[in-house]
Amino acid sequence: REINARGPEQVQDAANRLESARVDEVVRAVGWLRGVLPETRKFEFEEDNDSRSIRTGGIGEEIDPDAINEIDKTCLHKKCRATFRVSRVGQSQSWVRYVLTEIEPLKGDSAWTTLPE
């Protein structure tokens, strides 16, 4: 959607409306880490639910760059518990941004923790 603003006041008004329509929350999920891109700090996570939804997003600054490589080794294609910072913007809150802030592999029987085909 394009917005035509006629001056800094209208730009500020539009920014204020967007900010007031923003919802931030913390979401925890169980699923499989499908991939990590350390250089660009991106992830892909398949949630273990009925819809088998895949979340993609950025890796938060809470996670040290050196820890990203460790996450790749310990969590990739394994069942994990992840925490995301989720931002929804807009009146319909249809624009969603996920930021991975924490992830740990679940312990247990490997038949239940390996990524299903």
Q: Quick one: pLDDT at residue 105?
A: 92
Element (H, E) at 44: strand 42-47
Residue 116 has pLDDT above 70, yes or no: no
How far is it, in rounded angstroms, from Cα 54 to Cα 43? 10
Residue 115 has pLDDT above 80, yes or no: no
Q: Quick one: pLDDT at residue 82?
A: 95
Question: pTM surpassing 0.85?
Answer: no
Q: Quick one: pLDDT at residue 85?
A: 92
Closest CA to 43 of 84, 74, 96, 87: 84
Give mean pLDDT, residues 6-29: 73
Q: Quick one: pLDDT at residue 89?
A: 75
